[in-house]
Amino acid sequence: MTAGVDPPPSLAELPPERWPRHIAIIMDGNGRWAERRGLPRMQGHERGVTSVRRVTEEAARLGAIGDLTLYCLSSENWKRPQAELDFLMRLLAQYMVDERPTIMDNNIRVSMLGRRAGLPDDVLAEVDKTIELSAANTGMRLNLAINYGGRAELTDAVARIAAEAADGALSPADVSEQVISDRLYTAGLPDPDLLIRTAGELRISNFLLWQVSYAEIWVTERCWPDFTEETLHHAIHDFARRERRYGGLNV
């Protein structure tokens, strides 16, 4: 489904049980947004931060959303030009500093999903400081997927299970879906109910491969810098109209 151009539907009419509790977003199209306007790709990334801020604030304000997970930097993004990577790292560190008042004012808890290895120490320091400052907050969790890859996550989980089995702490016969889930970066988080992808792309891009097995997928042609609170409302309203069968039948 794609986002329409009509005014966003009212969310007040949606019963609580129809809301997504966990929304995950693949934020795509920053570079394309800039190129279409004759701007450097970096300006697209800067504008994308504005979308992160307004969508995060709106999701927290709505109250019914327990988790918002944003795909900030994939493990494959390291293939990009070094100048762009350096800019993204500076932008990420600055975001962590600039958004602390917003995070605290909105009672948001922050966590990071992904491999720490390879990220600059100064970036990790700012991420860790924001996580620590928001740890006691009781509102929506903002999960930032940074240096994240779904296959890497599964590889790390399998390695942990193998090590526990080798040490005798875990029997291979006891390996279950729950055992695997408990060793993912997302351990303790509910699986996403709604996966949003921007810029019209129709792929998962190595994002939450285990966790989105039954997520509803919603795609908009809008590039991430054009994603607004109203776009989020459209996605939530469309989600609420769907029937989720989880492989079964509604009778």
In the three-class reduction of DSSP (H, G, I as helix; E, B as strand; rest coil), residue 219 is classed as strand
Single out the catalytic residue among 6, 67, 77, 167.
Answer: 77
28 is catalytic: yes
Annotated binding-site ranges for Mg(2+): 28, 216
Which residue shows structure tokens 């351990």?
Answer: 187
Single out the catalytic residue among 6, 28, 107, 147.
Answer: 28
143 is catalytic: no
Q: List, in sequence order, the alpha helices (H) in the chain.
A: 30-36, 41-62, 82-98, 100-105, 121-134, 150-166, 177-181, 229-240
Annotated binding-site ranges: 28-33, 41, 45, 74-76, 78, 80, 197, 203-205, 216
How would you list the strands of the sheet with 216-219, edge to edge?
109-113, 141-148, 67-74, 22-26, 194-197, 216-219
Annotated binding-site ranges for substrate: 29-33, 41, 45, 74-76, 78, 80, 197, 203-205
Asked whether 229 and 173 are in contact (CB, 8 A), the reply is: no
Alpha-carbon dihedral sign for residues 175, 179, 185, 186: positive
Residues marked active site are found at: 28, 77
